[in-house]
Structure 1
């Protein structure tokens, strides 16, 4: 069992393809959305927040998200567009991108450089 919340998004499938819906499932209103791509083999993130909550969805490819809430460290692989990882403000997160990956991010707040904490948790 993971210490972090991984949601399975409702997906409908038929002969015409698949449709995944994010409707009323997030525990916060979406104020900002952005996507990261062209980062093949690179790491992004490497921070936590004071207030911002996020939801991450790998639309294409796979992204390994290294999570640390100060108590638990865990690597979570997002490799299907019906998976959504919730990132709480306390969660240090760093993403490693596979080939041709696209990561969609929904955020509870707009961009504010003062909301970022660039110091990881210290371990004894």
Structure 2
């Protein structure tokens, strides 16, 4: 079980294909939406936010999400379009993309470079 919140979105499948619904599922209003693609084998992100919350869905391919909230660190695989990972402002995150992966990102605020925190949490040392 993950420390971070993963929503399993309702999905309806029949012989014509699948339809996944994202309706009233997010704990914030979506102000900005964008998607990342063509990042085959690349790692992106490497930041956390002051106040922006995000919801991430891998529409195709696989995206490995490294998450660290200063207490818990975990790598989560997004590989189904019915999975939606919530990223809170305190969550340091990086995304590593498989070939042909497409990541949909929905944000609670517009882009503002000044609210990005580029300093990762220090890893705990166990002596």
Band of TM-score, shorter chain: over 0.9
Q: Which residue of 2 aligns with 1:111?
A: 111
Partner residue, 1:75:
75
Gap runs ≥5 in structure 1: none
State how far apart, in whole Å, the 2-side matches of 1:2 and 1:65 are: 12
1:100 equivalent in structure 2: 100
**2:29 counterpart of 1:2:** no
Moved over 4 A (4+): none
The alignment's TM-score, normalised by the length of structure 1, stands at 0.98
The equivalent of 2:30 in structure 1 is 30
**Residues 18-53 of structure 1: CA distance to partner in whole angstroms, max 9, x if unpaired?**
100000000000000000000000001000000000
Query: Using the alignment, how far apart are the partners of 1:100 and 1:9 within structure 2?
Result: 22
RMSD: 0.6
Give the match for residue 12 of structure 2: 12
SS in 2 for 1:3: coil
Residue 15 of structure 1 deviates from its aligned partner by 1.4
Q: Which runs of 5+ in 2 are unaligned?
A: none
Deviation at 1:16, TM superposition (A): 1.1
Give the TM-score taking structure 2 as reference length. Answer: 0.96
Distance 1:115 1:19 in 2: 35
| Alignment partner, residue 61 of structure 2 | 61
